[in-house]
Structure 1
Amino acid sequence: MHNATNALNPTRGASSMARVEGVLFDIDDTLVDLNSASIMGFHQLTAEDFRDIPAALREHAAHDYADDCAGAYERYMAGELTFLGQRAERIRRAYGLVGVEAPPAEAIAVWSALYEDVVQSMWAPFPDVHDCLDELDALSIPYGAVSNNVEDYQRNKLLLAGLERIAVLVGSDTAGAPKPDPRPFHAGCRLLGTSIGATLYVGDNPVNDVQGAKSAGLQGILLDRAADHTTGSGGILQNLGLLASLIRGNSGFLGT
């Protein structure tokens, strides 16, 4: 939970922006609360195996899994692991943290499939997302999403999370490379029909999202709801509630 100071300053450090013609968002932990769903799903799948483990240690393992402290997802994005392989790495690490033997290799796929069913039922947008999109609609600013995941999978995620209104979507597979490569960002701009320099990218990863967007020629802003990131290359937005006001307040905005 943010402290009172942060709550009153949701754009702490946010710099002024140039004209914004369109907005592209990251999906996971920017629009959809994937972290909370992952933690809840992990607890449900490990309830029996971890029944004798102290609650604090169970919580630590769940957060380690959800935060991918194994660094396995980046290896998946680099082509070093399959999707199931990266999940297996995270499962084995989490079980090791609590001193419980991980499921055998032949059971990992079953664990993963059950986890997928559970976590998909828990996908939901953050409370500020629909209001933000409503305001962008009111400003006639088009928006979409660019994600480091398979496009069909992320389309289904948006649908299950009630965000089917986001029609423009670029996945790392259809773009030909994951962020921070410029190609996904540029593909998003083409689909929005906006110029690269006048497109704003909003995401929760300082490197893949903010630095990647800026290197690709877009504007970039870090969404940091936990206020635990530091960045010297742009502003920090602590929720999406004031995104539209930031856009309206920049000197290049031409509202209708």
Structure 2
Amino acid sequence: MNEVRNALGGSGTGSIQGVLFDIDDTLVDLRAAAIAAFLELTTEELGHVDEAGANAVAAAFADDKAGAYERYMAGELTFLEQREMRLRHSFGLVNAEPPAGEQYQSWAAIYEKTVRSYWRPFDDVTPHLEQLRAMGIPFGAVSNNLESYQRAKLEIAGLPGFDVVVGSDTAGAPKPAAAPFLAGCKGLGSRPEQTLYVGDNPVNDYAGARNAGLPAVLLDRGSVHQDFSGIRIRDLWVLAAIPFT
């Protein structure tokens, strides 16, 4: 905690006047939702593998081991195409036959409805946002997905009241480009150097925010970035103990 406090306080930023968050796996536990929805819909197709195998396949889908989402962000794939690529890759791990064509279109529609039913915030999110509200600090979200889709995600997850939500479509570029971060600052009415950014990706979130002039912390909930040399926290409870103003 002292490391975070000293880094933010000693960076020449003065007080933090606004906070921007990534959404997926920072505020909303998207990985858990994706795994649960995937397993619910693939019981028959994965019937030939044991529980551990099915969980591994679901994790490969949720973690995008196919590398499809970056291709979606680059404009090479549509949203549904990147999801289909992930599905094919994960099924291929256990020699299962994925749905294709119209069957995939039907599967994708059911999956979307199902995964939305599992969208939940992490336990530390609501208390932290309530603390920011009580302190009068505006907060928003900057995400590499469509703004309308991410706004719906926040609402469904029970996280309303964001002062600004910026999507890669409305910003004109995805993170780690500076445009989404600066759009978030503009929406909050705060200067970049006084706007803290919190996200779970070392490149898209931490480096992108820092390069745009924002102080940033990496939220590493699973401790998967042990060699990360920047400011890293395990949860939002750490930030709750820091006097922002």
Class of the TM-score when normalised by the shorter of the 2 chains: over 0.9
Give me the TM-score of the superposition, normalised by structure 1.
Answer: 0.90
Contact 1:180/1:213 (8 A) holds in 2? yes
Q: Residues of 2 paired with 1:60 and 1:114: CA distance?
A: 21
Deviation at 1:231, TM superposition (A): 5.2
Give me the TM-score of the superposition, normalised by structure 2.
Answer: 0.94
Match of 2:38 in 1: 42
Match of 1:7 in 2: none
Deviation at 1:136, TM superposition (A): 1.0
Q: Residues of 1 paired with 2:101 and 2:86: CA distance?
A: 13
Larger mean CA deviation between 178-187 and 221-230 belongs to 221-230
Contact 2:163/2:188 (8 A) holds in 1? no
* Secondary structure in structure 2 of the residue aligned to 1:50: coil
Deviation track 1:3-29 (CA, whole Å, cap 9, x = no partner) reads xxxxxxxx4964520321110000000
Deviation at 1:230, TM superposition (A): 3.5
Contact 1:76/1:82 (8 A) holds in 2? yes
1:43-122 to 2 correspondences below 5 Å: 43-122=39-118
Residue 239 of structure 1 aligns to which amino acid in structure 2? D
Contact 1:20/1:200 (8 A) holds in 2? yes
Residue 220 of structure 1 aligns to which amino acid in structure 2? A
Match of 1:171 in 2: 167
1:180 aligned to 2:195?
A: no
Deviation track 1:18-67 (CA, whole Å, cap 9, x = no partner) reads 32111000000000010000000000110111112111111110000000
Deviation track 1:130-165 (CA, whole Å, cap 9, x = no partner) reads 110111112211100000000000011011001012
Contact 1:12/1:238 (8 A) holds in 2? no
* Secondary structure in structure 1 of the residue aligned to 2:145: coil
CA RMSD across the alignment: 1.4
Gaps of 5+ in 2: 10-14
* Secondary structure in structure 1 of the residue aligned to 2:97: coil
Deviation at 1:233, TM superposition (A): 4.7
Gaps of 5+ in 1: 1-10
Q: Residues of 2 paired with 1:91 and 1:174: CA distance?
A: 28
Residue 27 of structure 2 aligns to which amino acid in structure 1? L
* Secondary structure in structure 2 of the residue aligned to 1:16: helix
Residue 26 of structure 1 aligns to which amino acid in structure 2? D
Deviation track 1:185-235 (CA, whole Å, cap 9, x = no partner) reads 000000000001111100000100000000011011000111111354521
Higher-RCO chain (CA-CA 8 Å, sequence separation at least 6): 1
**Cα distance change of structure 1 residues 233 and 109 upon mapping to structure 2, 3 Å threshold:** same
Residue 71 of structure 1 aligns to which amino acid in structure 2? G
Q: Residues of 2 paired with 1:28 and 1:146: CA distance?
A: 10
Identical amino acids, percent of aligned pairs: 53
Match of 1:17 in 2: 8
1:202 aligned to 2:193?
A: no
Residue 133 of structure 1 aligns to which amino acid in structure 2? L
* Secondary structure in structure 2 of the residue aligned to 1:65: helix
Residue 8 of structure 2 aligns to which amino acid in structure 1? M
Match of 2:148 in 1: 152
Match of 2:226 in 1: 230
Deviation at 1:106, TM superposition (A): 2.6
* Secondary structure in structure 1 of the residue aligned to 2:142: strand
Residue 159 of structure 1 aligns to which amino acid in structure 2? E
Deviation track 1:66-93 (CA, whole Å, cap 9, x = no partner) reads 0001110010000000001100100000
